[in-house]
């Protein structure tokens, strides 16, 4: 009997590797797109439970072939997807902001039914958690408006990049929570995607010093945040869901609903003028030509009727896409 079980497990390893690779690609792309949760993508690939269990086993030094295979395939596939997709998605966000933000709103709201189904029986604790999560997202948006997250240099930049890593880790672990959106709120979405694009370009032309520079200034603090976040959150989530399930899910639901606050689509980048403040520095004539479009300050504008209609359609499309993926994930998770 023992040999038969071993045989079945070995036979299942190629299937596990394939699912892990698919889930990793989907998770990597999800972390690039605000509104889609990496955890939800792992659910869709039917690998979420294996991923969480593998992290728990590896971090407690219970090294098993299955766990190492799952983590290796997921991480490698996600890294490849992020490296390839960062540039094109960043350009779309910078140049087609209202279109992409409208889509992001729908993708974000599409995760609400997933978390609501996980709640099963709403309780007082769930509603308290929901309010807490909503207010937390509101506070992050207030920080963004106040300009706290717009600084990318010095200690504040390192701290925010570390926080961005934690946010990305949260999206890997928590279904329905979008790491890309949290990066957007923290003001680190475009800077990180730009850094990934620069890293890729440096590797393509063989400019090793430039690649190392990007890796140390951006990759290292983000990577430390991701590592700590994945290990800490994976174990913390199991504890919280076991002891305070509905309250924890209420917080997740509040985060999703509050996420929409910062995604008002009708905003655009405005080219700064001499004397304006960008990233905490006063713009000079020499600096003006060097400022890239992704660094332009944003301002809200009054939309045309066609833009309002287009935004509504895109929100609905995003909602349907995430809802459909969540449903697939639920069906796969039951199998």
What count of other Cβ atoms lies within 10 Å of the Cβ of residue 272?
A: 17
DSSP state for residue 120 in the 8-state scheme? -
Q: How confident is the model at residue 131 (pLDDT cuts 50, 70, 90)?
A: very high
Conformation bin of residue 187: beta by default, left when phi > 0, alpha when psi is -120 to 50: left
pLDDT for 330: 53
Residue ending a domain, choose from 235, 260, 285: 260
Least confident of 145-159, 221-235, 304-318: 145-159
Do 132 and 69 share a domain, yes or no? no
Domain count, the chain: 2
The beta strand positions in 154-308, using DSSP E, are 267-269, 277-278, 281-282, 298-300
Do 241 and 155 share a domain, yes or no? yes
Q: Which has more pLDDT, 247 or 291?
A: 247
Do 122 and 66 share a domain, yes or no? no
| Domain, as residue range, for 17 | 12-83+321-335
Is the residue at 300 inside a domain?
A: no
- Does pLDDT of 248 surpass 50? yes
CA distance 272 to 287: 10
pLDDT for 234: 76
Residue ending a domain, choose from 211, 227, 260: 260
For 161-211, write each residue's pLDDT tens digit: 888 888 777 767 776 666 776 777 677 777 787 788 788 888 888 888 888
For 66-121, write each residue's pLDDT tens digit: 888 888 899 899 888 888 887 787 778 778 888 888 888 887 787 788 778 878 78
Do 145 and 216 share a domain, yes or no? yes
Give the pair of three-digit tokens for residue 232. 């800490």
Is the residue at 245 inside a domain?
A: yes
DSSP state for residue 175 in the 8-state scheme? T
Do 58 and 131 share a domain, yes or no? no
Do 145 and 42 share a domain, yes or no? no
Is the residue at 5 inside a domain?
A: no
Do 132 and 76 share a domain, yes or no? no
Do 255 and 123 share a domain, yes or no? yes
Is the residue at 230 inside a domain?
A: yes
- Cβ–Cβ < 8 Å for 106, 319: yes
Do 161 and 223 share a domain, yes or no? yes
Is the residue at 295 inside a domain?
A: no
Q: How confident is the model at residue 269 (pLDDT cuts 50, 70, 90)?
A: confident
For 277-304, write each residue's pLDDT tens digit: 665 567 777 777 777 776 677 778 899 9
Q: Which residues lie below 8 Å from residue 163, measured CB to CB, with a gap of 6+?
A: 186, 188, 225
Do 121 and 255 share a domain, yes or no? yes
As a dihedral over the C-alpha atoms of residue 241, residue 246, residue 247, residue 253, rounded to 10 degrees, the angle is 100
**C-alpha distance from residue 52 to each of 31, 174, 189, 236 (Å):** 17, 10, 25, 11
What count of other Cβ atoms lies within 10 Å of the Cβ of residue 221?
A: 19
Least confident of 76-85, 216-225, 256-265, 306-315: 256-265
Do 148 and 192 share a domain, yes or no? yes
Tell me the pLDDT of the chain averaged across its residues.
76
SS3 content of the chain, % helix, strand, coil (to 5): 80, 5, 20
pLDDT for 335: 43
Q: Report helix, strand or coil for 140.
A: helix
- Does pLDDT of 239 surpass 70? yes
Q: How confident is the model at residue 29 (pLDDT cuts 50, 70, 90)?
A: confident
């Amino acid at each position: 009997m023992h040999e038969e079980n071993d045989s079945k497990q070995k036979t299942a390893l190629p299937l596990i590797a394939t699912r892990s690779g698919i889930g990793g690609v989907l998770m990597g792309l999800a972390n690039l797109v605000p509104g889609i949760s990496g955890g939800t993508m792992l659910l869709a690939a039917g690998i979420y439970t294996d991923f969480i269990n593998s992290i728990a086993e590896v971090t407690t030094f219970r090294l098993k072939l299955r766990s190492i295979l799952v983590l290796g395939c997921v991480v490698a596939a996600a890294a490849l997807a992020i490296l390839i997709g960062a540039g094109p998605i960043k350009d779309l966000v910078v140049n087609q902001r209202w279109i992409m933000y409208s889509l992001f709103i729908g993708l974000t709201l599409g995760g609400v039914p997933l978390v609501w189904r996980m709640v099963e029986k709403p309780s007082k604790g769930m509603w308290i958690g929901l309010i807490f999560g909503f207010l937390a997202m509101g506070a992050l948006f207030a920080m963004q408006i106040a300009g706290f997250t717009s600084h990318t240099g010095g200690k504040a930049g390192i701290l925010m990049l570390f926080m961005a890593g934690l946010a990305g880790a949260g999206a890997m672990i928590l279904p329905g929570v979008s790491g890309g959106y949290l990066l957007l709120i923290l003001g680190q979405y475009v800077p990180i995607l730009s850094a990934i694009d620069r890293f890729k370009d440096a590797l393509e032309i063989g400019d090793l010093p430039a690649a190392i520079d990007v890796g140390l200034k951006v990759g290292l603090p983000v990577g430390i945040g991701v590592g700590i976040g994945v290990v800490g959150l994976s174990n913390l989530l199991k504890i919280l869901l076991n002891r305070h399930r509905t309250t924890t899910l209420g917080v997740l639901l509040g985060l999703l609903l509050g996420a929409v606050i910062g995604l008002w689509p009708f905003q655009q980048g405005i080219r700064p003028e001499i004397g304006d403040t960008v990233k905490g520095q006063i713009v000079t004539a020499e600096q003006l030509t060097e400022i890239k479009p992704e660094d332009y300050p944003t301002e809200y504008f009054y939309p045309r009727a066609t833009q309002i209609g287009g935004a509504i359609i895109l929100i609905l499309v995003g909602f349907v896409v995430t809802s459909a993926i969540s449903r697939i994930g639920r069906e796969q998770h039951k199998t």
